[in-house]
Amino acid sequence: MPNQSEMTAGSAAHAHYSPRLCNEDLAPTRNQNWSWYNIFSFWMSDVHSMGGYVVAASFFTLGLASWQVLLCLLAGICIVQLCANLVAKPSQMAGVPYAVISRQAFGVFGANIPAVIRGLIAFAWYGIQTYLAANALMLVLLKFYPTLNTLTVAHWLGLSTLGWICFGIMWLLQALVFWHGMSAIKRFIDVAGPAVYVVMVALAGWIVYKTGFDGISFTLASKSLSVGEQSWQMITATALVVSYFSGPLLNFGDFSRYGKNMGEIRRGNRWGLPFNFLLFSVVTVVIVSGTQSLFGRMITDPIETISMVGNDVAVAIGLLTMITATIGINIVANFVSPAFDFSNCSPQKISFRAGGMIAAVGSVLLTPWNLFQSPELIHYTLDVLGSCIGPLFGILIADFYWIKRGKVYVDDLFNDSPSGRYWYRGGFNLNAIGALVPSVGICLAISFIPSLHGVANFSWFIGVALGAGCYRWLARAERAARVGAYPQQVVMQKEV
């Protein structure tokens, strides 16, 4: 969200943009001052969360050994880094969020289709992360106020009375941080990501202290698999890592738009993804592996593991830090992005703040705790999300790099007249819509057909391939068209 001085300057500079397509939040930012560390902190907040820990730890249920889980996590995050660099470039060049840059492919009004899809997906993820943070808060309260245990008996819509209270508290805390705008969010994530490292490393140290290094087994597996089965499960786990990050990956342009240049963004991605995630993964594997030796069973929930530490103060500090980290990822991935997405639908009626609150309210209606109950359900949820996000990512990449040849005509992104380059037919690009519908449909069918369940874990990759392939074929005539068919306007094509 821009500051006041930026709004004043921006209003004059963007006065000729259509009010049906522009407000101060969607207009090209004049404040591209994020360094590599800000991008690094963004990914730290995204990685260091209870949701990320649960997903990583759940790979043990696939029957993989600790070293295999570690390898899958690293391979998956390297794919995410490559894709993040690709999706960051058009938004950084033009200084606009994902919803606006999508107008290149879908048309100035057709871009509302991917914006709404991504916004609805944020409903689910925002609620899931809020629930995980609320669960940690409930454990802290029960630790110090055991009498509250009576409020955990009655359930409504799958959540106890105390659960609803904690969920409401976390919901309000996140809204308060978000309400203060992007500058406050930037400061928050600069602190939230690093903070959880203290807790994770301390927890790993405590487990090693209790079990000794002999208690940490990197050959631990929950079931016995053949070599072929292990290889397939490793490929599956790698795909699920990408699916988990597919949401913030698609909307990474909402943050790369503030980057100083692509060099800073690539550096931030390099340190924030492979390097950062490798360390996080090692700590996660040590903790999960150690719980087998210490408690006689693998514990994949970090909240449960922390709650078993003997010292009450240490438990409280650990859980509160995990809560802070989860708030960080929720804001950057599931508050900011839908805020821009829904604002894009009606810029003059839905502001950045209103768009974020729409996602926050919608998340409650989904009862998200029912989507994250078990490792199997986690994987199924990721399959469905990947089915929707994959084609959107594929179309965006195919359009910018293959069809538009790395160019962004910024003024046309806000031009709602037939003379605009991205007007297409009534503001809708039928080629992009024609590629999106069957791609999503095929991926969802794969997810819901039992006989194809093994392939469903690759729904994001299948969606990317289908979306990019279909769109490139349908838009082949546009690629061949002469650029001179349009009057010369503002074009961005830079590499720093």
pLDDT in tens, 366-377: 777 766 665 566
With a cut of 60, say whether residue 274 has pLDDT above it: yes
pLDDT at 468: 96
Residue with tokens 């397939």: 232
Q: At 160, is the secondary structure helix, strand, or coil?
A: strand
pLDDT score for 236: 86
Greater pLDDT, 360 or 85 = 85
Helix 312-334 to helix 336-345 angle (10° resolution) is 30
Computed over every residue of the chain, the mean pLDDT equals 81
Measured between alpha carbons, how far is 390 from 246 in angstroms, rounded to an integer?
A: 8
Asked whether the beta carbons of 335 and 129 are under 8 A apart, the reply is: no
Q: Which of 32-41, 128-137, 183-192, 467-476 has the highest mean pLDDT?
A: 467-476
Q: Token digits for 374?
A: 């078990």
Alpha helix segments (H runs only) across 182-311:
182-211, 227-250, 253-256, 262-270, 276-295, 302-307
Band (pLDDT 50/70/90 cuts) for residue 401 is: very high
Higher pLDDT, 124 or 471: 471
Checking phi first, is residue 406 left (phi over 0); if not, alpha (psi -120 to 50) or beta?
left
**How do residues 151-199 score in pLDDT, each as one tens digit?**
887 778 778 889 889 989 988 888 888 777 777 777 777 777 677 777 7
Whether the predicted pLDDT of 7 surpasses 50:
no
Give the DSSP H or E segment for 156.
Answer: strand 155-156
Residue 12 pLDDT > 60: no
* Residue pLDDT, tens place only, 191-250: 776 777 777 788 888 888 888 877 776 655 556 777 787 888 889 888 888 888 888 889
Transcribe 231-247 into DSSP letters: HHHHHHHHHHHHHHHHH
Q: Which residues, in sequence order, are CB contacts of 89 under 8 Å at separation 6+?
A: 256, 262, 400, 406
474 pLDDT above the threshold of 80: yes
Name the band, by pLDDT with cuts 50, 70 and 90, for residue 27: very high
Question: How do residues 409-443 score in pLDDT, each as one tens digit?
Answer: 999 999 999 999 999 999 999 999 999 999 999 98
Percent of the chain with pLDDT over 90: 29
| Residue 2 region by backbone torsions, left for phi larger than 0, else alpha for psi between -120 and 50, else beta | beta
The string of pLDDT tens digits covering residues 325-341 is: 777 777 777 778 888 88
Q: How confident is the model at residue 58 (pLDDT cuts 50, 70, 90)?
A: confident
**How far is Cα of residue 108 from the mean position of the Cα atoms in its chain?**
24
* pLDDT tens for each residue of 247-270: 888 989 999 999 999 999 999 999
CA distance from start to end of the chain: 25
